Chains A and B, each alone.
Chain A
Amino acid sequence: MKIIFLFILFSFTIKPQTSNLLHTPANTRKFADHLFSGKDYLRSVFEYGKLPEYEKNDTIEFKIPLAYQLMGKYDLALEKFLSVNKESVYYDQSVKEYYKTLLQAGRYNELQSKLANNDVKDFQRLLYLSYLFTSNELPAEQNFLEAFPLSGKESLLSFFSEKKNPPYKSSLLSGLFSAIIPGSGKIYLGEIGDGITAFIATSLFAFLSYDNFRANHDFRGWLFSGLGFFFYTGNIYGSVAAAQIYNAKVDYEYKEKLNEYLQNKNYFVPGNDFVK
């Protein structure tokens, strides 16, 4: 009885360092995993970072850059993917994610220079996808499509065709049309309202100028001629600028559509167990 009593007393007096119980490496890791699965990636990265080296395993080494990638912090993700150990079970996946991150970060030239002579299919896909974003020469259509699975070929073919022959409008033609018939350059670009308005404005001032000269009102005649001249030349200038904006819009919409498609397909990189 005495021994029992002393034992119990001893247990109560030795108060363990209770605040560290939740901060032990094992508990920190459990908490970090919970944060990661709840998409609280920054906190999960901070928690993983607190783990001692001996506690860090392949999974954690892979999840940290993955968390950065999911948050859009591409520079940090790239740095961490590069530092994944070659012996890690996730090394191959890290390499793929590294190149995928280069694509997401818009570092196409870097991606192209690094994968230039790579024959591995997964990497070839990323390389070919990067060509859809740059103005560098596209690979042959057959080679391009061969790299991708059947399910993606149709969509990718349309992106490839659009990249090869974008539906641009010519600035020169637009300006020339507007020089011949005011407003026609804008109509060529699909801006019917602007084109008609430009035509009406130029015609109106031309008529007013003619009418006033005919009535010997020279000052008014010259005033309206001047205004008509500026509307006319302004319209030619505006048609050229509008063609540039039209082409920028084509590029923007193409990139948006392509990015959305590739995000849905995870850039044709095999998925991982950590992100659903």
Chain B
Amino acid sequence: MPLNNELVQRYKARFGEAIREAWIDRKQAILVVAPEQLLEIAQFSRDDEKFDMLSDLTAVDWPKREKRFDLVLILYSFAKNERLRLKALLGEGEPVTTVEGVWPTANWLERECYDMFGIVFAGHSNLKRLLLPEEWQGFPLRKDYDILQQDEAWVRENLGIESGQ
């Protein structure tokens, strides 16, 4: 359902077209924003709207869309006891500025996003893989990565076995 409460209006007043959509789903507010302005919106969210905690930063892969990735930031405000979800639509290979400077917790969360989806965060201090080995090829949480797929070369070289399956 589309949403147009005071919070949304404040965002739209400040950023105008960068706030592409705003809706409410199952009583939770979602703002879809332009990825180019993500850093400014993040700073505004933290400083002016008091969303001081980044609960989570993740992505969803919609391969059939032109902009396949949904970058999702889940914010929480202690003062207002309110949650907000920011989404940015990213295409394949399209980098987005890191929000590490705004919420330091994004450091590892963005690394995991990169690890699993291949989303590049420009300006990140240490964009290495987090969960998978550094030399792994492939981004497992993408929909075109089969569930039984693995980086055969890495497995053969490092584990000395033909396949982990």
Say whether A associates with B: no
Residues of A within 8 A of B (CB): none
Residues of B within 8 A of A (CB): none
